[in-house]
Amino acid sequence: MTYEEIYKELNLIASEEDGDDFETMAKASINLHYRELLSEGDVDLERREFTFTTVSGQSKYGMPLYVADVLNIEDDSNDRPLNLHSPSRYDSVHSGSSSTGTPEEAFWIGEYGVQRQPNSSGVLTIETSASADRGDDFKAVIHGMSSGIDTREEIHPIFNNCPNNLEFRKLRKRIIRQTRDIIHNFEMIEKDGRWLVCLSGGKDSFTLLASLIELKWRGLLPVEILACNLDQGQPNFPKTILPNFLKNLGIPHRIEYQNTYSIVKKKIQNNKTYCSLCSRLRRAHLYRIAREENCTAVILGHHQDDILETFFLNLFHGGKLSSMPPKLINDEGDLLVLRPLASVSEKDCEKFSNDMKFPIIPCDLCGSQDGLERKKIKKMLIQWELDFPGRKQIMFKALSNSRPSHLLDRSLFNFANLDRNRL
């Protein structure tokens, strides 16, 4: 990304009076914050290997944007390492002229190394030996650390068609960071874990699958992933979309057909809520599948809005303070139930899935009925967020910041034995 593109994205327009001073100050500010970001460890560094081909007579080469640091460089033709020197060494020996022959030394130009700033000013200089007149090109292999910014060749195929713009990159990074934080904070990863990732075909489950695949692709999720779709026999449900999608991307999966729809329609009156029975039947089959596939956890795509809606449903209609936890164990005690998207908003899931052009399958059973209390709660939360932006985030934060001493649950706090003298 060039500075001009950054200016355009940020709508930075220099006036005639600002001139070069504005451009200099803008560049300095961008570079400063980028270096601060790197120093704070917000960028995930991964060990990678990448190559480029040198050209006879050319000494300077720009590095890909994803290069954050370099460990060593070698001549791929004979596995001969090049001597890697500092900028000070370069200043003392570089003559300023391009030379030909076999490269002997490599220098990193720039205080912060190649591409540690979001421009192309950092370059790799190949210094060659004048006595070794080889003249032909060679391929250099660079062993370095990547900033996690992907190229088309370095991403999982599920991201092949993702947009290449700043807005989407920020959205993708935010979702991945939030998912990773939930996984880490709730200690979801177990040794030799095998996850059954439930894929309904909706926007939330597609976002879940893509997030977990990216984390696994980066080496940050050391578990096996098995995608699973439970076809519940709903009318007009397309039976080929998900199998073809998963097969074409090489994602391990299992498609299970169980006609729970007819059972729900038979047992529940049309004016009653389907959800109670439907969810129980679905959960029972998913637990069974997880056991058959030797999975250690069932992974669900519930997001932040789902958790808040459930909280208010229990508050208004159940008379209890409870919601959907990011991590729980089933009644039998043999499976974990995990919700890695717990802090991701529904809005972000929807935009992400639309931008990724996932084959979204509408559901005409769960949540499709009129007059559902969950729909009323959702409408209330949407209006609150419009009136007071950020309210949903504050409420979500409150769920992890409870104070039993300021509630009324005597099983959580010993009100009877309060100590007056306690400091």
Could you please report the per-residue DSSP string of 12-66?
A: ----TTTHHHHHHHHHHHHHHHHHHHHHTT-SPPEEEEEEEE--TT--EEEPPTT
Query: Could you give the strand order of the β-sheet that contains 327-329, starting from the edge strand earlier in sequence?
Result: 253-257, 224-231, 194-198, 297-299, 336-338, 327-329
Q: What is the DSSP string of 71-134?
A: EEEEETTTTEEPEEE-HHHHHHH--SS---SSEEEEEE-STT-TTSSSSS--EEEEEE-TT---
Give the per-residue pLDDT at 143: 45
- Residue 139, pLDDT score: 42
Query: Which of 50-74 are b and which e, b meaning 16 or more Cβ less than 10 Å from the residue's Cβ?
Result: bebebeeeebebebebbbbbbeebb
Structure tokens at 283: 């959960």
CB distance 138 to 82 below 8 Å: no
Q: What is the pLDDT of residue 307?
A: 96
- Domains contained in the chain, CATH given: 59-149 (no CATH), 153-406 (3.40.50.620)
Low-confidence ranges of the chain (pLDDT < 50): 14-17, 41-42, 65-66, 90, 94-101, 108-153
Backbone dihedral angles phi then psi of residue 325, each to the nearest 5 degrees: -75, 150
Tokens of 272: 């009653």
b/e per residue 403-418 (b: at least 16 CB within 10 A):
eeeeeeeeeeeeeeee
Query: For strand 46-53 and strand 60-62, is the pairing parallel, antiparallel, or unpaired?
Result: unpaired
DSSP 357-411: T------SSTT-STT-HHHHHHHHHHHHHHHSTTHHHHHHHHTT---GGGS--TT
Q: What is the DSSP string of 262-296?
A: HHHHHHS-TTS-SHHHHHHHHHHHHHHHHHHTT-S
Q: What is the pLDDT of residues 279-288, one digit of tens each?
A: 889 999 999 9
Q: Residue 398 has which token pair?
A: 């409150």
The candidate with the shortest Cα–Cα distance to 261, out of 226, 237, 245, 238, is 237
